[in-house]
Amino acid sequence: MKITMDEQTTRHLENKFGVATRLILALNDGSNVYSSAQGCCMIGDRFLLQPVKNSTPPFTIPLENGTFTFYISDYEKNFLRSDLTLQFKPSYGTLQLKSSEGILDLDVELKTASVTVKH
């Protein structure tokens, strides 16, 4: 699987995460350690990005991008298609996750970097 992004989205993520090039793409529905959700009534419609040093189980399935490697688990795979697009919307300051079936998340949450950023 892969995920595509335009240059503007790539720059936005580079500005947000610095040198971090590995990111967890997880559902934000209370189903994993990265989730900030307190309940599971939003299953499948909210996602988050968490920078990591390496893939960590169960997030071991790579989504190649060229600049970044996104890791998902089998759980996320149930909600994603192979034609994923991540797009920064500057007018709203949000990231949208889409597939050919439509918008999956209008505002993907960006978590705090957990890797050392070198200046």
* pLDDT beyond 80 at 114: no
Tokens, residue 15 = 């500005």
pLDDT of residue 116: 37
- Residue-averaged pLDDT of the chain: 87
pLDDT tens per residue, range 55-96 = 999 999 999 899 999 999 999 999 998 789 999 999 999 999
Average pLDDT of the segment spanning 89-112: 94
The architecture in CATH of the region 2-110 reads Sandwich (2.60)
Query: What is the strand order of the sheet 47-51 is part of?
Result: 102-105, 94-99, 83-89, 2-4, 61-64, 69-72, 22-27, 47-51, 109-110
7 versus 115: the higher-pLDDT residue is: 7
- Phi/psi for 31 (5° steps) reads -95, 0
Residue 49, helix vs strand vs coil: strand
Reported pTM: 0.86
Does residue 51 have a cis bond before it (omega within 30 degrees)? no
